[in-house]
Amino acid sequence: MPDIKVLLFDLGGVLLRLNSQIETFDLRLDDGEFLSRWIHSPAVREFERGAIEAESFAKSIVVEADLPYDWREFLDRFDSWPDELYPGITDLLDSIPSTFRRALLSNTNAIHWHRDGVADKLAHRLENIFLSYLTGHLKPDRDAFEMVQKELGFDASEIAFFDDNPTNIEAARKLGFQSILTRGEDDLRTSLGKLGIIS
């Protein structure tokens, strides 16, 4: 296995705790089905690549998912979906040796990125931040990972990618990234330990 030079993290579900999506949106799906539908939803993709405003996104989602409430209630629920950074995540990031570059690749939007000081807490702990609503590129699309690789200037095999969505993990793995399915702080800490990055 090639030496790891870059640690590339997802945000929601890896660094940032999310409230139950099933309860938040009052859905009759399991988590796996929700994650798959979410990342392939036309409305979600348009919103998280910065192509439409929040109101248009909400109105589209209500129709697309046949939700039993209106777009305003959906936006309230959507805003409450992220909780906060996992309690020890900033200390964990700080414990990573400076020989590794730390980066973020997230399908996200301005509402969630700037909520509860998330941006302020992470910005100085990550050397590179790739947010879909600013870059226009979304996981699991190939161009999202190729953009990161080009910007960072490392081979895909030198990048360890941590994400909570199996679809994203598989997409990155096909391009040569060292991809690790990771959910939450404890899981991330264990994964970093197995890789010999932290003790």
pLDDT along the chain (199 residues), means of 10: 89 95 88 86 94 95 91 95 94 96 95 90 96 96 97 96 96 97 96 94
> Which parts of the chain fold into alpha helices (H)?
21-25, 31-40, 42-48, 54-64, 71-80, 89-94, 110-113, 118-123, 132-135, 142-152, 166-174, 184-194
Instruction: State residue 116's pLDDT score.
Output: 84
Instruction: State residue 1's pLDDT score.
Output: 53
The alpha-carbon radius of gyration of the chain (Å, integer) is 17
Q: pLDDT for 34-60, tens place per residue?
A: 888 888 899 999 999 999 999 999 999
Instruction: State residue 39's pLDDT score.
Output: 86
Q: Which 3 state secondary structure label does DSSP give 10?
A: coil
Strand partners, 184: none
Instruction: State residue 69's pLDDT score.
Output: 94
Query: Which residue shows structure tokens 């629920």?
Result: 77
Q: pLDDT for 74-89, tens place per residue?
A: 999 999 999 999 999 9
Instruction: State residue 35's pLDDT score.
Output: 83
CA 28 vs. chain centroid, Å, equals 23
CATH numbers and ranges of domains, the chain: 6-17+83-194 (3.40.50.1000), 20-80 (1.10.150.240)
> The pTM is what?
0.92
